[in-house]
Structure 1
Amino acid sequence: MKKITFAERLKEARKSAKLSQEALAKKIGRTKSTISRWESGERNPKMFEMVELENALGINAEALIYGTEEIKSSTLTEINKIIVQLTDSQQEQVLNFIKNPLDDNILNTIDMMSKADDKFRDKVASYAKFEYFEYEKKLEQKNKSKQNSAS
Structure 2
Amino acid sequence: MSVLNFGEKLINLRKKNRLTQKELAKKIGVTPSTISKYENGTHKPPIFMLALLAETLGTTTDFLLDDVAALREKNSVNAFPLIGNPELEKWYLELPYSFSEKDLKLIKEISDVILKQSK
TM-score range with shorter-chain normalisation? Answer: 0.5 to 0.7
Structure 1: which 5+ residue stretches go unaligned? 75-151
Q: 1-side partners of 2:59 and 2:7: how far apart? A: 14
- For the structure 1 residues 56 and 28, does the alpha-carbon distance in structure 2 shift closer, same or farther, using more than 3 Å as the test? same
- Tell me the secondary structure at the aligned position of residue 59 of structure 1: coil
The alignment partner of 1:69 has SS state of: helix
Match of 2:94 among 69, 73, 78: 69
1:54-91, CA deviations, whole angstroms, 9 ceiling, x for partnerless residues? Answer: 121010011122164232569xxxxxxxxxxxxxxxxx
2:18 is the alignment partner of 1:12: no
Q: CA deviation at 1:3?
A: 3.2
| 3-state secondary structure, aligned to 2:53 | helix
- CA deviation string 1:71-126 (max 9, x = no partner): 2569xxxxxxxxxxxxxxxxxxxxxxxxxxxxxxxxxxxxxxxxxxxxxxxxxxxx
Aligned length: 74
Alpha-carbon distance in structure 2 between the residues aligned to 1:13 and 1:51? 14
The offset of 1:52, in angstroms, is 0.7
- In the alignment, the residues of structure 2 paired with residue 12 and residue 34 of structure 1 have an alpha-carbon distance, to the nearest angstrom, of 17
Equivalent residue letter for 2:22: E
RMSD: 1.9
Matches within 5 A, 1:113-128: none
Counterpart amino acid of residue 35 in structure 1: I
Structure of larger gyration radius: 1
**TM-score (norm. length: structure 2):** 0.56
CA gap 1:46/1:73 in 2 versus in 1, 3 angstroms: farther
**Runs of 4+ residues over 3 Å off in structure 1:** none
Structure 2 match to 1:35: 35
Segments of structure 2 that go 5 or more residues without pairing to the other structure are: 67-89, 102-119
